[in-house]
């Protein structure tokens, strides 16, 4: 092996995705690599250039990637040593959609796709890396900012979960493919493909697929004169056709295309060529599906510049949730992903406000409360937040609070434009009541928790579901310590919270009929939030505080944890956890159907089986109620 190739292999093994390959494999690749010297400002490829036969890795120097939008060049990324770029030839056939230019004198390695393809087809980790890079327009999907920082610390998007999501991900494809016969002529098929705006035609014999012809075949075989246009289509078709089952996942489809070096897959009833054709998946379908990948959405959020862009991403999240629900993915799993994307949107809204207002005059924390604080916001509901800034000198207090009130107003306005309605009760960081210093917040919680009866008018239990969105973790932890310190031997507080949890209206009448709304606009509908979900949410919070459970706000996870901490009542907690998921699914389905919060269920649209399922989910609530009464010695409502 020559020394240059050895030097290149040594370099590549330090960087993803090459760190997933053996040194032997890297040596084989390196022997075919082209070393390209780029002078400062030299362009490697530009928008609309024909695709190269290789992709690139920066060996030294820096290469910028830019696009032209509204007649203005916008810098997308800056690639440094080890960064991969120019992946379009791997996944698409159309010309380059961005420009790569040397920012300084640089050396770039050109890796021929023909050489690298076999290593991708046999290594899903390498494939996933390249797909994420390509779909998100970033040079390195595992860079510190995107993966080892915020996301990794939230136990989300470590490698296994990314792959899991890719395998879950829904795939939309052409379910009315163009089907032709072996005896049809190429000219006739080309005309029908043009009429149908189709990039392929499946050739069938006795209703079973024997081959496929694509626009590429037409160009490379007919247009070049290799075959006459009067030939029958079987002379230019690709055979055998690569077939997949109807429920194929995004990642499986991508692997099969790469493995077989094809641009189309034929979907059949049982996944073999011995059953009827149900559709065709093209490379374009994969690219479209990839754009809704959660990792891609989060990166797009980080790059977004205004509420309009954030709103579009939030709408794509709704599609992702709908697809996941349709595929029966566990709700807890969907919740993890949705809450990460929601948190990223909230964080970006705060960042955009800071960019406009200038640096904050003091350290602060923007905290979500309520459903956002519990990470239970699958649907767009109203905003709930508080803002806490560090203690400052008395003469500076007013000016500093003015800044944070402006920050709160700008952020809540951005979120409103994104689709999150303003909280009707005013529980937001833009409200003077809920934007104050750490000492003032400490006094507020002391007062709420030690004299709850006197302050019950403005004590809402949602203030005990806190999640840090942006800012100083220490401020958040200090406030959390205040809450848990006040809990110790605080019978009065638990009396208040316990009675509050028991005060919710029952979901069924004495005769086991649903209690429905009596007034418009939701007359005869069932309020699933107030009558079914809130008693479970309140109960989980009450026991979580009682048992000193920190850092776990999600109702489902609180019940799961309670089952471990309080094993004698484990069955009650586990039944409540299950009931919470069932009820949440009902609410989410209703919300997605009507593009709202899903709070009011139209019972007329439920099947008899669904109504029974809904009623059965209420059963654990009675046990929870009894447990609250006995545990906190509550015999009646106060």
Q: At CA 553, angle to CA 551 and CA 554, rounded to 5? A: 130
- What are the strands of the beta sheet with 179-181, ordered from one edge? 179-181, 200-205, 208-214
Identify whether the C-beta of residue 340 lies closer than 8 Å to the C-beta of residue 377.
Answer: no
Instruction: Say yes or no: 479 and 506 in one domain.
Output: no
Peptide bond into 240 cis (omega under 30): yes
Instruction: Say yes or no: 429 and 505 in one domain.
Output: no
Which of 469, 485, 501 is the C-terminal boundary of a domain? 485
State residue 158's pLDDT score: 27
Q: How far apart are CA 439 and CA 479, in angstroms?
A: 9
Instruction: Say yes or no: 520 and 603 in one domain.
Output: yes
Q: What is the DSSP letter of 635?
A: -
The answer to which of 84-88, 222-226, 318-322, 372-376 has the lowest mean pLDDT is 318-322
Give the helix ranges, DSSP H, for 304-435: 307-326, 331-357, 370-373, 394-418
pTM: 0.60
Q: Do the domain assignments include residue 459? A: yes
Instruction: Say yes or no: 200 and 288 in one domain.
Output: yes
Instruction: Say yes or no: 293 and 381 in one domain.
Output: no
- Write out the H or E segment, with its range, that includes residue 280: strand 277-282
Q: What is the DSSP letter of 50?
A: P
How sure is the predictor about 72, in pLDDT bands with cuts at 50, 70 and 90?
A: low
Identify whether the C-beta of residue 203 lies closer than 8 Å to the C-beta of residue 213.
Answer: yes
Return left, alpha or beta for 135; rule: phi > 0 is left, psi -120 to 50 is alpha, else beta. alpha
Number of domains comprising the chain:
4
State residue 222's pLDDT score: 87
User: Is pLDDT at 163 greater than 50 in this prediction?
Assistant: no
Q: How far apart are CA 285 and CA 294, in angstroms?
A: 17
More confident residue, 571 or 452: 571
User: Is pLDDT at 154 greater than 70 in this prediction?
Assistant: no
State residue 526's pLDDT score: 92
How many CB atoms neighbour CB 221 within 10 A?
17
Residue 319, Cα to own-chain centre: how many angstroms? Answer: 10
Which of 303, 324, 358 is the C-terminal boundary of a domain? 303
Q: Do the domain assignments include residue 125? A: no
Identify whether the C-beta of residue 523 lies closer than 8 Å to the C-beta of residue 600.
Answer: no
Q: Do the domain assignments include residue 245? A: yes
Q: Do the domain assignments include residue 322? A: no
Identify whether the C-beta of residue 295 lies closer than 8 Å to the C-beta of residue 141.
Answer: yes
Helices (H) and strands (E) in the chain, counts: 24, 20
Instruction: Say yes or no: 453 and 413 in one domain.
Output: yes
Q: Domain range holding 181?
A: 143-303
Q: How far apart are CA 309 and CA 441, in angstroms?
A: 34
3 phi, psi to nearest 5 deg: -65, -30
How sure is the predictor about 431, in pLDDT bands with cuts at 50, 70 and 90?
A: confident
Instruction: Say yes or no: 252 and 147 in one domain.
Output: yes
How sure is the predictor about 134, in pLDDT bands with cuts at 50, 70 and 90?
A: low
State residue 153's pLDDT score: 20
Q: Where are the beta strands (DSSP E) in 207-246?
A: 208-214, 243-244
State residue 379's pLDDT score: 75
Q: What is the pLDDT of residues 550-597, one digit of tens each?
A: 888 889 989 999 999 999 999 999 999 999 999 999 999 888 888 788
More confident residue, 544 or 165: 544
User: Is pLDDT at 395 greater than 90 in this prediction?
Assistant: yes
More confident residue, 408 or 137: 408
Instruction: Say yes or no: 570 and 474 in one domain.
Output: no
Torsional sign, CA 509, 514, 515, 519: negative
Percent of the chain beyond pLDDT 70? Answer: 88
State residue 135's pLDDT score: 56
State residue 137's pLDDT score: 44
State residue 315's pLDDT score: 84
How sure is the predictor about 162, in pLDDT bands with cuts at 50, 70 and 90?
A: very low
Indicate the average pLDDT of the chain.
Answer: 84
Q: What's the CATH number where 341 sits?
A: 3.30.460.10
Best-predicted range by mean pLDDT (113-117, 166-170, 336-340): 113-117
Q: What's the CATH number where 156 sits?
A: 3.10.580.10
Instruction: Say yes or no: 77 and 147 in one domain.
Output: no
Q: Which of 96, 77, 62 is nearest to 146 (CA)?
A: 77
Q: What is the pLDDT of residues 490-507, one digit of tens each?
A: 888 898 888 888 887 778
Burial of 614 (0-12, 13-18, 19+ CB in 10 A): buried
Go through 157-182 and write b for each residue having 16 or more CB atoms within 10 A of its CB, e for each that does not.
Answer: beeebbeebbebbbbebbeebbebee
Q: What is the pLDDT of residues 80-111, one digit of tens each?
A: 889 898 888 877 667 788 889 998 899 999 99
State residue 637's pLDDT score: 45
Q: Do the domain assignments include residue 505? A: yes
Which of 288, 303, 318 is the C-terminal boundary of a domain? 303
State residue 459's pLDDT score: 61
Q: Do the domain assignments include residue 500? A: yes
Region 218-237: what's the mean pLDDT?
Answer: 89
Instruction: Say yes or no: 439 and 568 in one domain.
Output: no
Q: How far apart are CA 417 and CA 408, in angstroms?
A: 14
User: Is pLDDT at 8 greater than 50 in this prediction?
Assistant: yes
Instruction: Say yes or no: 481 and 572 in one domain.
Output: no
Q: How far apart are CA 207 and CA 183, in angstroms?
A: 14
Q: Do the domain assignments include residue 308? A: no
Q: Do the domain assignments include residue 388? A: yes
Region 217-237: what's the mean pLDDT?
Answer: 89
Identify whether the C-beta of residue 334 lies closer than 8 Å to the C-beta of residue 287.
Answer: no
Instruction: Say yes or no: 256 and 384 in one domain.
Output: no
Region 335-358: what's the mean pLDDT?
Answer: 90
More confident residue, 316 or 181: 181
User: Is pLDDT at 294 greater than 90 in this prediction?
Assistant: no
CA distances from 128 to 7, 239, 255, 292, 293 (A): 26, 28, 10, 15, 11
């Amino acid at each position: 092996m020559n020394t240059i190739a050895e030097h290149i292999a040594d370099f590549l093994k330090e960087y993803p995705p090459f760190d997933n390959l053996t040194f032997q494999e890297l040596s084989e690749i390196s022997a075919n690599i082209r070393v390209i010297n780029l002078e400062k400002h030299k362009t490697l490829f530009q928008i609309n250039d024909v695709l190269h036969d290789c992709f690139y890795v920066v060996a030294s120097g820096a290469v910028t990637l830019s696009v032209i939008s509204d007649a203005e060049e916008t810098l997308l990324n800056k690639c440094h040593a080890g960064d991969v770029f120019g992946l379009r030839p791997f996944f698409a056939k159309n010309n380059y959609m961005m420009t790569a230019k040397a920012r300084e004198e640089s050396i770039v390695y050109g890796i021929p796709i023909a050489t690298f393809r076999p290593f991708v087809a046999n290594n899903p980790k390498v494939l996933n890396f390249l797909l994420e890079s390509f779909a998100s327009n970033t040079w390195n999907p595992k860079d510190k900012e995107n993966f080892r920082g915020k996301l990794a610390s939230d136990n989300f998007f470590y490698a296994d979960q990314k792959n899991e999501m890719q395998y879950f991900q829904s795939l939309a494809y052409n379910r009315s493919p163009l089907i032709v016969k072996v005896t049809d002529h190429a000219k006739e098929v080309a005309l029908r493909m043009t009429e149908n705006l189709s990039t392929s035609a499946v050739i069938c014999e006795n209703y079973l697929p024997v081959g496929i012809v694509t626009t590429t075949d037409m160009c490379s075989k007919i247009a070049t004169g290799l075959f006459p246009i009067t030939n029958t289509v079987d002379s230019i078709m690709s055979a055998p056709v690569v077939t997949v089952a109807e429920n194929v996942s995004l990642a499986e489809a991508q692997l099969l295309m790469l493995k077989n070096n094809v641009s189309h897959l034929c979907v059949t009833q049982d996944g073999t060529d011995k059953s009827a054709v149900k559709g065709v998946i093209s490379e374009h379908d994969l690219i479209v599906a990839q754009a809704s990948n959660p990792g891609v959405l989060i990166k797009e959020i980080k790059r977004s510049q205004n509420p309009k862009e954030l709103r579009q991403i939030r709408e794509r999240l709704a599609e992702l949730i709908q697809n996941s629900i349709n595929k029966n993915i566990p709700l807890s799993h969907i919740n993890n992903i949705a809450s990460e994307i929601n948190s990223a949107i909230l964080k970006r809204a705060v960042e955009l406000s800071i960019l406009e207002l200038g640096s904050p005059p003091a350290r602060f924390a923007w905290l979500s409360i309520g459903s956002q604080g519990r990470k239970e916001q699958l649907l767009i509901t109203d905003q709930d937040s508080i803002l806490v800034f560090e203690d400052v000198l008395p003469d500076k207090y007013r000016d500093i609070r003015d800044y944070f009130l402006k920050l709160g107003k700008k952020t809540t306005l951005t979120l409103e434009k994104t689709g999150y309605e303003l909280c009707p009760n005013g529980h937001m960081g833009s409200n003077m009541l809920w934007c104050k210093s750490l000492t003032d917040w400490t006094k507020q919680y002391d007062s709420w928790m030690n004299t709850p009866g006197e302050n019950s008018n403005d004590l809402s239990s949602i203030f005990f579901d806190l999640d840090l969105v942006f800012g100083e973790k220490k401020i958040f932890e200090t406030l959390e310590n205040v809450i848990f310190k006040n809990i110790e031997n605080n019978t009065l507080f638990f009396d208040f919270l316990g009675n509050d949890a028991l005060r919710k209206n029952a979901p069924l009448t004495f005769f086991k009929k649903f209690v429905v709304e009596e007034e418009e606009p939701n007359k005869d509908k069932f309020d699933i939030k107030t009558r079914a979900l809130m008693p479970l949410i309140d109960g989980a919070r009450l026991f979580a505080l009682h048992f000193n459970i920190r850092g776990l706000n999600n109702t489902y996870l609180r019940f799961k944890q309670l089952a471990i901490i309080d094993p004698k009542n484990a069955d009650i907690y586990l039944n409540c956890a299950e009931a919470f998921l069932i009820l949440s699914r009902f609410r989410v389905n209703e919300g997605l159907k009507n593009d709202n919060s899903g709070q009011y269920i139209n019972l007329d649209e439920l099947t008899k089986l669904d109504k029974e399922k809904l009623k059965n989910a209420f059963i654990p609530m009675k046990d929870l109620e009894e447990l609250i009464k006995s545990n906190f010695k509550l015999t009646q409502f106060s």
